[in-house]
Amino acid sequence: MDVETFAHQPQLQHAGRGDRVARTREAIIASAVLSRTLAAVVGEAPAPGSTGPIDERVGTIINQCSDRCERLLPMWTFVETLQRRSSEAADMVVQMYAANRMQLSHWFDRELTALPPEARERTLNALAMALAPESWVVLRQRLGLTVEQARDELRFVARAVFTDGSARR
């Protein structure tokens, strides 16, 4: 019996090492794919700036965000799964949200600075939530809206956020 156990031991060690190598390889590939996927979400399009009528800026931002989220849509399940399994992936997603929030803060600087501090933060949080990839998934996949219908919903939400935010002064 000892001889049989000893004979199988190297194979078990090798199988364990092979599993670890496979998991490491998978994690590296997943991380390379995730970083490319999230880079597409964060911003390759020019920023609309903080000047001009708010309706024009909202329209530009909604179009840019929806285009990026539409490209991301087939991969979003992968992103969500990976961030639950990897702290590095979760950190990448957090960085993506922080970058998007900063962009929104810049794009709507004029409107946000006109609000009291508490309303400013709540308004910015509401915009970030409305323009998050998960919101696009809900609109497109869960509710079955077309791209244009989903854009109309996001425009409505963005306008409502500013209308409500200015009412909280």
Q: What residues does each domain of the chain span?
A: 2-167
The pLDDT value given to residue 3 = 43
The pLDDT value given to residue 119 = 92
Could you tell me the fold of the domain covering 2-167?
Tetracycline Repressor; domain 2 (1.10.357)
C-beta separation of 104 from 154 below 8 A: no
Give the CA-trace dihedral at 48, 50, 53, 54, to 10 degrees: 90
The pLDDT value given to residue 43 = 55
Confidence of residue 86 (pLDDT cuts 50, 70, 90): confident
The pLDDT value given to residue 46 = 59
The pLDDT value given to residue 114 = 92
Residue 154 vs residue 11, higher pLDDT:
154
Check pLDDT > 90 for residue 155.
yes
Instruction: Give dist(CA 71, CA 104) in Å, integer.
Output: 20
